[in-house]
Amino acid sequence: MMRKNIVEDHTGPNMRIIPLGGLGEVGRNMMCIEYEKAILIVDVGFRMPEESMPGVDYIIPNASYLKGREKNVAGVVFTHGHYDHIGAVPYIVEKLGHGVPLFASGLTAGIILKRQEDFSYLPKLNLTRISDGSKIKLGPFSVEFFKQNHNISDNMGLFIQTPIGNLIHTSDFKFDDDPVYDTPTNFQRLKEIGSRGILLLMSDSTGAEEKGHSLSERKIIENLEEIFKQSKGRIIAATFGSLINRIQQVIALSEKYGRKVAVDGYSMRTNVEICKKLGHIKSEKGTLIKPNQIQNFPDHKVTLICTGAQGEGQAVLMRIANGEHKFVRLKKQDTVIFSSSVVPGNERTVQVLKDELYRQQVRVWHYKMMDIHAGGHGQQDELKEMMSIMKPKFFLPIHGQYSMLVNHAILAAESGIPEKNIAVVENGQVIDLTQNKIAIESKPVEASYIMVDGLGVGDVGEVVLRDRQTLSKDGMFVVVAIIDRKTGKVKGSPDIISRGFVYLKESKLLLRDTRRRVIDIVEKSTGSGGAVNWSYVKDNVRNYIGDFLYAKTQRRPMILPVIIEV
């Protein structure tokens, strides 16, 4: 639908907008806004790995575009404290040079600094706290922060003044007239900002495929209260560790119904600790207890708020379901609440977890049974209302899978923004913006995945990942042959090690035939001895044995030939 207005590489002092993550995917948000040589960075987040990425912890943006341009970075501003917007800070900010200025709201700054404690070897961050209405000047950019409703506190949209016009970055947002433990959307403020004249609106697309209006948190707490009224045993409420508003709701309901509250899960405990200090989470004295104190109170007087609503293997709820939790064993009277929607890709693991809970005869509630989760992203009605308020000349959908971006662009066109003024781009594509046009440069920048695995950053590339995929699919087959250097003959019978391919004790015939073929292949490849190309020998073993095993089993394990000369 959207036209691809391609221009040749940028040469003048126009605005360039360069998404390094977050467009064409959910998560890994990072955007560069460049005027002449000055660069403003918005967010530095990560995303979780896909099922096809075994062993990978998470994926961060590829910041190679900034290499050699570190001195041009005027500053980094953060919209909110979710890890898909701040999680890559320890890996990327340190490469921008010592002292690059960072700006974040109170809660966002608290989460960034707390996580940075796990990277104590890195230089101290030059982080300044901002609040609703704060204004900062960074090179040619003037940034004003304005509060937006989301499902985490201290979420900020950005009004960015530039030499060519005003830009709006909405952050993740929803419109909520009646939130719980938060102030409602300030439409008057938004309209005042929109009245200044907006050249470009960059708007959250996560809810662009959902019709209507997102649920208010008020409706969620009313439904959660119904569960509290019915529950006769312990309540175990699982949600995201960063869903602060929901955690506060469960604490308040627990107090209303005379329950003590334990919080379990590293990220959740950390965030609650930060939020209590900042006043985002409030509780009466004595309400919060430690998980090891749960057994000191009657079951109907206990609530446990924990991580694991996505079926994560080592998260608290999974450990409880598997009977591996240190202090909690499920009982028939217990009630388990999944107070979050299922992240795409996690459906299977969540279903396995729910089935296990049902087998243990506990009562399970999830968002498909009752509205006990509201997303933090505006749906179609809210997205159109944002466009109506801001009245932008140009429109760029951000934050979302490609289908979300396209559907958001369709909404923009339906709202009256000319199609030629709308650009749909993915990571690495460069927007060229002037006062009169928006176009896509012909040459993209590097925006590939950088994978983090343990202490390794970027050392797990496509080749390593492909090997892991092969190992996870068809296993490994090691062939060890001892060869007489003088004659080129195999001494004895080759040893074979199989992992994840076949069980050796039950595959004796296959192994016998394989050994014979190895001897034949090696001796043909070495000739009569003398000068032997051992790489050639290994390649022949790898290729011919691979073809033989596939013919016999229809599986292709990773073949690892080991040649020992004696």
**Active site (annotated) includes residue 381:** no
Give the angle subtended at the CA of 33 by the CAs of 130 and 427, to the nearest 5°.
115
Cβ distance 63 to 76 under 8 Å? no
Query: Quick one: tokens of 194?
Result: 């929109």
Q: Which helix or strand (DSSP H or E) is residue 480 part of? A: strand 476-483
CA distances from 480 to 490, 523, 561 (A): 10, 14, 6
Round to whole Å and give the CA distance between 146 and 183.
Answer: 13
The burial class, CB within 10 Å (0-12 / 13-18 / 19+), for 7 is: middle
Round to whole Å and give the CA distance between 547 and 550.
Answer: 5
DSSP string for residues in 165-177: EEEEE--S-B--S
What DSSP state is assigned to residue 288?
Answer: E
Cβ distance 367 to 340 under 8 Å? yes
Round to whole Å and give the CA distance between 358 and 204.
Answer: 37
Greatest Cα-to-Cα distance within the chain, rounded to the nearest angstrom = 89
Out of 43, 84, 172, 204, pick the active-site residue.
Answer: 204
What are 509-513's contacts with CB under 8 Å, separation 24+? 510/549, 510/552, 510/553, 513/548, 513/552
Out of 169, 377, 399, 408, pick the active-site residue.
Answer: 377
Query: Quick one: tokens of 522?
Result: 């090696």
**Active site (annotated) includes residue 371:** no
Round to whole Å and give the CA distance between 404 and 383.
Answer: 12
Residues annotated as part of the active site: 204, 377
